[in-house]
Amino acid sequence: MSQAETRVPARTRKPPAKPSDPAGRRFPIVYRRLKREYPNAKCALNFSNPHEMLFATILSAQCTDAMVNKVTERLFAKYPTLEDYAAADPVELQQEIRATGFFRQKAKNLQATARKLLDEFGGEVPETMEELTTLPGAARKTANIVLGNSFGKVVGIAVDTHVRRLSQRLGLTCNEDPVKIEKDLMDLVPKDRWFELSYLFIEHGRAVCKAPVPRCGECVLADICPSARV
């Protein structure tokens, strides 16, 4: 077994990885194995234009993509334009998205975002991180997802709950804050893999590296994972 694949005691938490550190040498192995395991990893949210991508991502907070897709199938048909959201009855809109959780705040964010896009951006979803993160309900994770999937622009790494969990368990970060985790990953991972990384981690998080109990016995990374319980 190579030095990069030497087993580290379970639950060990390391400082943010640098390319010269064990985690920096470990990442290429992580990437190759996950790429082989999930060759078609991609965004699971359904959308047909940038504002649908944006709204679906806002709705996905604390909700599964499968549930969001179920809700947006009806939502996008009922409210096809930004003007429809801006003019919607708030209570009716809340009921349409109720199944996604936190529906009152999400409905408020959808309407406020629709109005801001109409008033300040000419009815178009902006194409920069700086502008997207001014929209209600859109932090860096949402902005990264929208930029990558709608415009093919990769300026960072989308850190959702799966990416956060795997990054910590694999010893790629010791941070809790998503913005700091994103920076740790950006320092470690080649830029041409930033976009794909999120979806590889999401797929593995859903299938194997679950919360709260991971299925380490089924994990293709168990022999190099510092947190493996095998």
Catalytic sites, residue numbers: 141, 160
CA distances from 227 to 65, 175, 187 (A): 27, 15, 22
Residue 145 structure tokens: 């997802």
CA 229: distance to chain centroid? Answer: 25
Residue 58 structure tokens: 């806002």
| DSSP letter string, 32-77 | HHHHHH-TT-------SSHHHHHHHHHHTTTS-HHHHHHHHHHHHH
Phi-psi region of 11 (alpha: psi -120 to 50; beta: other; left: phi over 0): left
Distance CA 92, CA 98 (A): 10
Distance CA 180, CA 174 (A): 9
Per DSSP, 149 falls in state: H
